Amino acid sequence: MLFNGGTQIDIREYSPLALAFAGDGVLELLVRGRAVREHRLSPGRLHALCVKYVSAKGQALGLAAVEPLLTEREKDVVRRGKNASKATVAKHATAEEYRASTGFEALLGYLYLTGENQRIEELFDAFWQRVTACLEAEKQG
C-alpha cells in the first residue's frame, strides 16, 4: 500500500500548514481513487467530480461529518489547522470554509505522518458519504 507506517511525531514540531500541505495530497489521492472505483467517467468528468470533494466547500462539509468521531488529540490538530494564518483565501469559498478545510487537511496530514492509515480510511469514509449525500441533494434541487 502507498501509505506505509510512519513514526510517532510530536504535533508541536510541525506547523499546521505543513500538516495541511501533506493532508492535501492524501485527500487528493483518496478522492481520485474512490472516484475511479465508483464511477465510469471520462478523465475530464472525473476531474470535475473530484474538484467538488477537494474544494474548500467540500472539505468543510466533510469535516462536519467527521468532527463527532474525533478524539481530543485529533480535535486539537483540526483546531490548530483552522487557526493557522493563511496569506490567501480560496475565491469560491468563505473564510470559514477555508479555515475548516485547512483544519481537515491538517488532520489528514497528521494521521498520514503518524502512520494511522486505518484511521484515515475510517474518517475518509464518513467524509465521502457526507459530501456525496450533499452533492446528490444539490443535484435534486
Cell 474518517 locates to 123
Question: Out of 10, 24, 76, 125, which one is annotated catalytic?
Answer: 24
Which strand (E) or helix (H) includes residue 125? Answer: helix 117-140
Is 24 annotated as catalytic?
A: yes
Distances (CA, A) of 29 to 12, 94, 124: 26, 24, 11
CB 120 within 8 A of CB 112: yes
**Which residues are tagged catalytic?**
24
